Amino acid sequence: MKKLEKSDCRFPSTLKEALELLANESTRGRLLAGGSDLMVQWAAGMEPPPRVISIKGLKELQGIKEDDGAVVIGAGVTHAHIRSSKPVQKHLPALAAAAATVGGPQIQALGTIGGNVANASPAGDLAPALLITGGEAVVASRTGERTIPLTKFFLAYRRIDLKPDEMIVRFVLPKRAAGEIEVFRKLGTRAAQAISKVMCAARFSVKAGSFETCAVALGSVGPTTVRLPKLEEWIIGKSASEETLAEVEKRASDEVSPIDDIRSTAEYRKWVSGRLVRFLLES
């Protein structure tokens, strides 16, 4: 990749070194972890930035651990690690399922959760499963850390709440409660290695025949991945009946405003959003 040869590439050995580079405009560069998104974009003709900071392998960004009712995942953890992690499979099964849909084995072994989120694509596979947890992203700069709710982290198309001198360091994701169900579904042109037309994740519980908790998120239906707060509020206390699920389908479709693009039409996306949400809540 001759274009990248023109960039000043730095390889910090610690998080502190990486944050020092980000702190100064003269050394600040585009962060590169797995590169499964950025390298493809650059190879396709997008000009690489003048400076690149490789954060691949930084130990401070690695690891998955359980902590005080949450699963903490380092920003440098790969999709392959996420999908095979026992704590993720047990406590965040929608995230494990989403990680298993990212490209093929090579991409899953290379791409990272931090890179997937930082890319901020509305078709990013992990975002819906992250949003339903009610979790947080922790970002760091040379001056310290700050924590942002994931529901407020995605600001606009390809834009997240991240300052130029900050990087994502980890995600703190509450475990599903006892009795809660988590599910994820992605629809694409092909059965595998496809960019999504629509995807959906849900975390919910039913007690005594009625919905007790509910969190639903959809991807590829707008400029960012979205939760459905109106639907989530409406469904609590409603019976898990055919009548309720029919209304769920209608409300989910009404709550999204997708667009036409090369992968699908707005009309199809609205219709299938309702169908997907209903399908998951019937699980």
Cβ burial, residue 258 (10 Å; 0-12/13-18/19+): buried
More confident residue, 9 or 214: 214
Q: pLDDT at position 123, please?
A: 83
For 60-65, what is the mean pLDDT? 98
- Higher pLDDT, residue 87 or 192: 87
Q: Return the percentage of the chain with pLDDT > 70, whole number.
A: 93
Tokens of 161: 């709440």
CB 125 within 8 A of CB 113: no
Strands of the sheet with 70-74, listed across from one edge: 64-67, 70-74, 167-174, 136-141, 144-149
Q: What is the mean pLDDT of the chain?
A: 91
With a cut of 90, say whether residue 105 has pLDDT above it. Answer: no
Half-sphere exposure of 244 (CA within 13 A, CB side): 16
Please give the backbone phi and psi of residue 186, each rounded to the nearest 5 degrees, phi first.
-125, 135
CB 23 within 8 A of CB 144: no
Does the structure show a pLDDT above 60 at 2? no
Domain at 181-281, CATH from 3.30.499.10, 3.40.470.10, 3.30.390.50, 3.40.50.12780:
3.30.390.50
At 103, list the tokens.
């490209």
CB atoms within 10 A of CB 12: 16
161: nearest Cα among 171, 153, 149, 151:
153
Strand pairing class (8-10; 51-54): parallel
How far apart are the C-alpha atoms of 55 and 70, rounded to whole Å?
Answer: 25
The lowest-confidence range among 35-39, 48-52, 57-61, 189-193 is: 189-193
What pTM value is reported for the model? 0.91
- Token couple for 126: 């992990």
Is residue 102 predicted with pLDDT exceeding 70? yes
By mean pLDDT, which of 46-60, 72-86, 137-151 is the weakest?
Answer: 46-60
User: What is the reported pLDDT for 34?
Assistant: 86
Q: What percent of the chain has pLDDT over 90?
A: 72
Output the six-digit token pair for 51. 């400076």
45 has pLDDT over 80: no
pLDDT category at 190 given cuts 50, 70, 90 is: very low
For 278, the token pair is 């209903």
| Architecture field, domain 62-174 | 2-Layer Sandwich (3.30)
- Going from the C-alpha of 227 to that of each of 78, 136, 186, 222, 255, the distances in angstroms are 24, 14, 16, 11, 10
Q: Rounded distance, CA 107 to CA 191, Å?
A: 16
